[in-house]
A and B are shown apart, each in its own frame.
Chain A
Amino acid sequence: MSGNGSSLGNLLEVSGLNVAYGESKVLFDVGITVKPGQVVACVGRNGAGKSTLLKTIAGFIKPSSGTVTADGANLVGLTAYVVAGMGIKYIPQDKKVFSDLTVQENLELGSYASKDYEWDKVYDYFPKLKTLLDRKAGYLSGGERQMLMVGRAILGHPKLLLVDEPTEGLAPSIVSHLKDVFGELKKKTALVIVEQNLPMICAIADKIYAVSEGHIMAEITERDQIKPEVCEKYL
């Protein structure tokens, strides 16, 4: 399924995207669109190409063909740090923070890059971080690391957050907290979330793309269709 949707009002448009790792093709003619303030989810099995899609948008992987545009600007060929500078922040799956740095230093890195030193909004979403400022990030729990990564990414008022499997391996209470945070964040920024936790993602998503073996198998936009039992058949 190739690119779809009108270009009018779209924050992000991915169209005819083909990506390969050497000889191995991973994404086939993929197209997605994201409007401002939307939460768009990509669901699918492991190895379906969801993370590759996010990394390609973020500038880490150069596609073999296709277009990626954000606010009309072509992102293909731009390096990751330039894409990040344009307000498109990628939050990777592995929850690896800069372990030798303290929480405060991790946030400072985010602040300096985005010229945004207003940490109150980070504390509003994640009050716990305020109590952990002096702690080395390497000593944080998985949930605290995810809070730090999201908190760091929202500095600078990004227009789009690309979030890769944010709830993987986290306790239910943290998952619930992150769901609320993403629900709040969508008022200010668009999100593309790769997620396998269907109840969580269906509760906040405005649109879901089902990805399988590098193809977009379905685009679910009807609110009453965005539910775990509908998505499940694509997993």
Chain B
Amino acid sequence: MSLVRWWSGLVLAFALLAVLRIYLPLPFAIEIIIFSIYTLGCSFLLGRVGFISFGQPAYLAIGAYATAFYLFYFGNNPYIGILIGVAAGIVGSFLIGPLLVRLRGDYFALVNLALAVIIYYLMQKVLADITHGDNGLWYLTNMSSTPVLDLTRPDQFFIFAFVVAFAIWAFFKYLDDTIYGACCLAVKVNEDKLRFLGYDNFKVRLTAFVIANTTTALAGALYAVYLGFVSPEITSPARAADPVVVTILGGAGTLYGPIVGAIVYTGMKDVVSKVIGNWELIVGFTLVFIMLAGEKGIWGSLEPRLDRLMARVTGKRSDEVGQ
């Protein structure tokens, strides 16, 4: 695969996202970017490794609170805050992962949900002295202006989040093309057979867990800096299904499914909710329709058609026209 072709899909996707920014209000565009990163971790776990997780808010909260603690108690540089959030995601995933990745299917999903509930109550009640409970931590005015891109300004924060998202997507695209990416798919399809070849499934699953949840923690850190405020609501069990819903909506395991899912979901939340009070109903019906239409999600269904279209245009076989 030539380098130009490797980059082309990625550049095109983010160019479209940048164009979309012209027509969308800034808060909406930022929400899409961060929510896409949040969903990408869940999509990787579900679509690539076969882990369904209802505990993603827990890892979002780990990143968000680590950033918030730094910005509220210790410092005022948002860049350092984000780095601390990501570091907390790595450490947290390495500590929790060895216990959880031994679990299968429904047990993994439920134990993760339980983890989200535990973190919620830790932040709301047990650690209320330092988290300020339901009132949350407010530090928007504590944050100092930063050089190059001032993250305290929403327009410049958008550019930063956009660049970070591009780097994350390039990383996951690279991961798809590596032996490790193949191992992840193999462990999802048949983990016993991967062992026949000499691979340690536990290491494959743990690495995927750390990568996915560090990505989620990064989304949490970005939320923390963008909002200048973090409360236990970020890890609310009531929102635990959100990333799973968006993953399925966009197309689990596809590279661009999380972006498409985030656009549709956030769009419904922000646009449909102005017209219809119970906008979740529309999401529910859309999900049912997508499942009945072939379980591949919006991007999962569109992608093969776009590949065929591109193949017709370029004169190549459709399986040569990748993402």
Residues in A lying within 8 Å of B, measured CB to CB:
58, 60, 79-81, 84-85, 89-92, 96-101, 105, 108-110, 112-114, 134, 152-153, 156
Contact = CB atoms under 8 A, between A and B. Distances in A.
B69 to A, nearest CB: 40
A139 B196 CA distance: 22
Among B190, B192, B194, B196, find the residue whose CB has the most chain A CB atoms closer than 10 A: B196
Contacts of A114: 197-198
Interface in B166-188: 179, 182-183, 185-186, 188
Contact of B186 (A58, A60, A101): A101
A113 B186 contact: no
Among A58, A80, A99: residue with most chain B CB under 10 A:
A80
Given A81-B201, A101-B182, 15 more contacts: A80-B195, A81-B200, A84-B195, A92-B193, A98-B182, A98-B190, A99-B189, A100-B185, A101-B189, A109-B179, A113-B199, A114-B197, A114-B198, A134-B320, A153-B196
A109 B195 contact: no
B129 interface: no
Contacts of A99: 189
A80 B192 CA distance: 9
A34 B196 CA distance: 20
Contacts of B182: 98, 101, 105, 108-109
Nearest to B180: A112
A92 B179 CA distance: 22
Contacts of B197: 81, 84, 89, 109-110, 113-114, 152
A79 B198 contact: no
A98 B189 contact: yes
Contacts of B185: 98, 100-101
B319 A91 contact: no
A84 B198 contact: yes
Instruction: Report whether over half of chain B's contact residues are helix, strand or loop; otherwise say mixed.
Output: helix
Nearest to B197: A113
Interface of B: 179, 182-183, 185-186, 188-190, 192-201, 319-320
15 contacts: A79-B200, A81-B195, A81-B200, A84-B195, A84-B196, A96-B189, A96-B190, A96-B193, A98-B186, A98-B189, A100-B189, A101-B186, A109-B179, A113-B198, A113-B199
Contacts of B196: 58, 80, 84, 89-92, 153
A108 B320 CA distance: 18
Contacts of B193: 92, 96-98
A80 B182 CA distance: 19
* A-B complex: 5 closest residue pairs judged by Cβ atoms: A84-B198, A113-B198, A80-B195, A112-B179, A98-B186
B49 to A, nearest CB: 12
A89 B198 CA distance: 8
A113 B197 CA distance: 6
Nearest to A112: B179
Nearest to A155: B197
A81 B182 CA distance: 17
A14 to B, nearest CB: 19
A156 B196 CA distance: 13
